[in-house]
């Protein structure tokens, strides 16, 4: 009997977590072998491994404790990978040499599979003088472009691309440009962006006071705080970024505020970390701990929860000793503070099972009680570990117990820490769990509501055919098994119908007992008014959240997935064409007409003796002009082979029709390890990226796309195909249109791919 409750769960395990040889041969014969591998690796650092290995296995069994994916995939293997998920890199020096040393460190970290965060507030603003070179600074965003290009080329461990978070203080002179940077959908695609918002700024917003933008003691600009706040809100409303991080609140609450200062987070925001800070993640599956689900006596087994949390804390503490680290500074930081991030998943499913409506006041109180129980168990377990193995090296009882988080902790927990010390400086965090939640049987992700009760997934069979399978939420599946086709009760709600302020209420309830932060996406309807949207962020501030991330369907990031039956394929017309919106799809490649309209562009790459000439010819179909072929020529014979290849490949793509704007995005993403060049005030990472820019310019001028970085004027993947259906961008891993925003990550419901890594 398989341990997996759904085929998608087994597929995720096989694709992402199952140990295989380089040739693809399975070494983990079953998921039980995976659990044994993890349990053995984490027990190996104990004085008595034989005593702890079965206890660790029991915690993993039946998907009750879910270590983060890097631990599941990497523990007990000989791979040179880190088991830590989250890194914040060192403080970026305001010098060219220091900046590129930080770039090197970032590349090494992502190569081993770590997601990273950076604060770019330390780089002088655009136009500031650079002493000794008679030039003006290009500003932090220009260097973010370099980071972005580097990240695109680093295929991190386990075939997962790196993910990055960039932060900037709300008083940095370039913050206005930072806020709107991702209005260009082709720019900074490897970054999540967040503004570091201070207490003083929020006070100025509420009091409608002026706000100075300052660097190095020089005031560059003064504006109304409310105007800057509205610019942040407008960009987030339009483009889903930047997020907001309440940085002073984070530092005040930090258990370690006596020995570190935080200015950045990991890519999904749940781990605020100091320079070179590192954290590992794991989640308690609350959905597996409910007894008598859907019955009058349904409840969470708090005794089982306490025992499971204590075991999980020990396992995660052992990961600190079992893991490799990309950089020595990261190893020292992890060893000196022994941070862990224990969180939950399946919260919404657990609430459904005990009869609570996610987002209600009673559900918020229940969440508070459960998270309080987890925090108590985790801190007491860590105190016991300190008595057995020693406190973390930088532990100092007086300032530690005086921190914002510890001041509200129960007296008996504080007394235990005062007596024994504590093994782990921080213990709790709510991480994104999209993929491991699928692996655990499609339980609701993290503290998010159920996204959809069910959806259809296409499965590729060995013979090349495709079948469809229904993927059902874990709690809904349990309801069906108990009650058959009986209608779902009224307290069943999902992300499609939940009011945004209900999301905030749940995040605030969980935050009270989480010493780090929370990865949470507040889904907003497309038709929410701008004023109501701003109210969501102000409510997050007023209710004590450490940050806020929203997702509203928009033209740049696509639409939130609505789950309905697939649209029927439109029949091709006699001329081999079919249309969706303004876009022409060619079901058969068209013959080349005798004459085509086009344009030729001259591209002069710096330090190159010969220019490159690019000719793009267009075809007019159904009243719409679209690219049909391209020719790339240069007198430089070193370019001959690749320009011919590029000409043929791009022309072949153009002649197939449809959404060919991806060609621009792919070319603009190419990074030359020998270095790019500055052209017209912008860093271009390679010649190929420059060619992509020329093609984009042509598409804009002919009306094929609406503007730089905007993609197609009418994106077919965002059109309504049937009543009630909206389709988002396709998954870059499997190609399905099942991408949705979950906990700050664009996640594929079809294959489990996550953009955040």
pLDDT of res. 568: 30
pLDDT at 739 over 80: no
Per-residue pLDDT reduced to its tens digit, 274-314: 999 988 999 999 999 999 999 999 999 999 999 999 999 99
Per-residue pLDDT reduced to its tens digit, 81-92: 789 888 999 999
Estimate to the nearest angstrom the gap between the alpha carbon of 529 and the chain centroid. 26
What would the two tokens of residue 362 be?
């009673």
Q: How far apart are CA 327 and CA 101, in angstroms?
A: 13
Lowest mean pLDDT among 309-313, 368-372, 571-575: 571-575
User: Average pLDDT, stretch 580-589?
Assistant: 42
pLDDT at 165 over 90: yes
Pick the most confident of 79-93, 141-155, 525-539: 525-539
> Is residue 696 helix, strand or coil?
helix
14 secondary structure, DSSP code: I
Per-residue pLDDT reduced to its tens digit, 313-366: 999 999 999 998 989 999 999 999 999 999 999 999 999 999 999 999 999 999
What would the two tokens of residue 115 be?
């997601």
Cite the active site residues. Answer: 266, 268, 270
Q: Which residue has the higher pLDDT, 266 or 626?
A: 266
Domain ranges of the chain: 577-718
Per-residue pLDDT reduced to its tens digit, 14-67: 988 999 998 889 999 999 999 999 999 999 999 999 999 999 999 999 999 999
The torsion region of residue 658 among left (phi > 0), alpha (psi -120 to 50) and beta comes to left
Name residue 115's beta-bridge partners. 86
| pLDDT band of 152, cuts 50, 70, 90 | confident
378: exposed, middle or buried (Cβ count in 10 Å: 0-12, 13-18, 19+): buried
pLDDT at 201 over 50: yes
pLDDT of res. 579: 39
pLDDT of res. 723: 28
Pairing of strands 243-246, 218-224: unpaired
Per-residue pLDDT reduced to its tens digit, 230-242: 999 999 999 889 9
pLDDT at 430 over 80: yes
Per-residue pLDDT reduced to its tens digit, 462-487: 565 667 778 899 999 999 999 998 99
pLDDT of res. 582: 41
- Compute and round to an integer the Cα radius of gyration of the chain: 26
Q: What is the mean pLDDT of the chain?
A: 85
Choose among 743, 628, 607, 623: nearest CA to 687: 607
| pLDDT band of 647, cuts 50, 70, 90 | confident
User: Average pLDDT, stretch 668-685?
Assistant: 79
Q: How far apart are CA 752 and CA 698, in angstroms?
A: 36
């Amino acid at each position: 009997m398989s341990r997996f409750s759904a085929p998608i769960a087994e597929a995720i395990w096989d694709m992402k977590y199952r140990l295989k040889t380089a040739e693809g041969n399975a070494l983990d014969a079953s998921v039980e072998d995976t659990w044994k591998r993890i349990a053995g690796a984490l027990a190996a650092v104990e004085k008595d491994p034989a005593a702890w290995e079965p206890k660790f296995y029991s915690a993993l069994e039946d998907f009750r404790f879910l270590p983060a994916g890097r631990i599941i995939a990497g523990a007990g293997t000989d791979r040179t990978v880190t088991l830590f998920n989250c890194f914040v890199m060192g403080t970026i020096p305001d010098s060219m040499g220091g900046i590129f040393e930080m770039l090197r460190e970032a590349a090494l970290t992502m190569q081993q599979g770590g997601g990273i965060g950076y604060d770019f507030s330390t780089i002088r603003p655009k136009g500031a003088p650079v002493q000794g070179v008679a030039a003006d600074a290009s500003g932090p965003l220009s260097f973010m472009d370099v980071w972005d290009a580097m990240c695109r080329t680093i295929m991190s461990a386990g075939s997962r691309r790196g993910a990055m978070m960039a932060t900037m203080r709300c008083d940095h002179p370039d913050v206005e440009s930072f806020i709107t940077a991702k209005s260009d959908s082709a720019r900074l695609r490897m970054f999540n962006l967040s503004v570091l918002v201070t207490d003083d700024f929020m006070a100025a917003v509420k009091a409608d006071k002026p706000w100075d933008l300052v660097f190095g003691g020089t005031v560059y600009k003064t504006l109304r705080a409310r105007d800057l706040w509205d610019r942040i809100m407008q960009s987030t409303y339009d483009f889903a970024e930047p997020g907001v991080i309440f940085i002073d609140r984070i530092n005040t609450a930090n258990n370690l505020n006596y020995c570190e200062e935080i200015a950045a987070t990991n890519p999904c925001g749940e781990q605020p970390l100091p320079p070179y800070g590192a954290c590992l993640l794991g989640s308690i599956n609350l959905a597996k701990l409910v007894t008598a689900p859907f019955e009058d006596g349904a409840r969470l087994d708090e005794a089982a929860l306490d025992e499971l949390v204590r075991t999980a804390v020990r396992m995660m503490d052992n990961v600190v000793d079992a893991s490799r680290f990309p950089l020595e500074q990261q190893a020292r930081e992890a060893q000196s503070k022994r941070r862990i991030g224990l969180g939950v998943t399946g919260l919404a499913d657990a609430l459904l099972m005990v009869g609570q409506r996610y987002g209600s006041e009673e559900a918020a109180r229940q969440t508070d009680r459960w998270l309080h129980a987890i925090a108590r168990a985790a801190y007491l377990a860590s105190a016991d570990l300190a008595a057995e193995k020693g406190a973390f090296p930088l532990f100092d009882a007086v300032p530690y117990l005086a921190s914002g988080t510890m001041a509200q902790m129960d007296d008996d927990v504080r007394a235990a820490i005062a007596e024994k010390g504590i093994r782990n400086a921080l213990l709790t965090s709510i991480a994104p769990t999209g993929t491991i939640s699928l692996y655990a049987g499609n339980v609701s992700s993290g503290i998010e509501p159920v996204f959809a009760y069910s959806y259809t997934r296409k499965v590729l069979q060995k013979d090349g055919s495709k079948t469809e399978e229904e993927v059902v939420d874990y709690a809904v599946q349990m309801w069906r098994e108990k009650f058959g086709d009986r209608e779902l009760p009224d307290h069943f709600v999902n992300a499609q119908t939940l009011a945004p302020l209900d999301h905030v209420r749940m995040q605030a309830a969980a935050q009270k007992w989480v010493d780090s932060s929370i990865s949470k996406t507040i889904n907003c309807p497309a038709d929410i008014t701008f004023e109501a949207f701003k109210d969501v962020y102000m409510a997050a501030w007023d209710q004590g959240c450490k940050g806020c991330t929203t997702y509203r369907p928009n033209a740049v990031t696509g639409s939130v997935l609505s789950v309905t039956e697939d649209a029927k394929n439109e029949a091709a017309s006699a001329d081999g064409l079919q249309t969706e919106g303004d876009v022409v799809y060619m079901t058969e490649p068209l013959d080349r007409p005798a004459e085509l309209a086009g344009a030729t562009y001259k591209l002069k790459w710096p330090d190159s003796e010969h220019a490159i000439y690019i000719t793009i010819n267009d075809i007019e179909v159904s009243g719409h002009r679209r690219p049909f072929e391209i020719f790339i020529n240069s007198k430089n014979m070193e370019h001959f082979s690749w320009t011919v290849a590029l000409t043929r490949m791009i022309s072949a793509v153009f002649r197939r029709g449809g959404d060919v704007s991806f060609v621009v995005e792919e070319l603009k993403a190419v990074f030359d390890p020998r270095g790019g060049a500055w052209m017209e005030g912008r860093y271009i990472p390679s010649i190929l990226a420059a060619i992509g820019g020329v093609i984009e310019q042509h598409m804009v001028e002919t009306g094929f796309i609406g503007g730089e970085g905007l993609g197609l004027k009418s994106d077919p993947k965002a059109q309504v195909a049937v009543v009630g259906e909206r389709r988002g961008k396709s998954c870059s891993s499997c190609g399905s249109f099942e991408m949705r925003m979950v906990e700050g990550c664009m996640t594929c419901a079809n294959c489990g791919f996550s953009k955040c890594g």
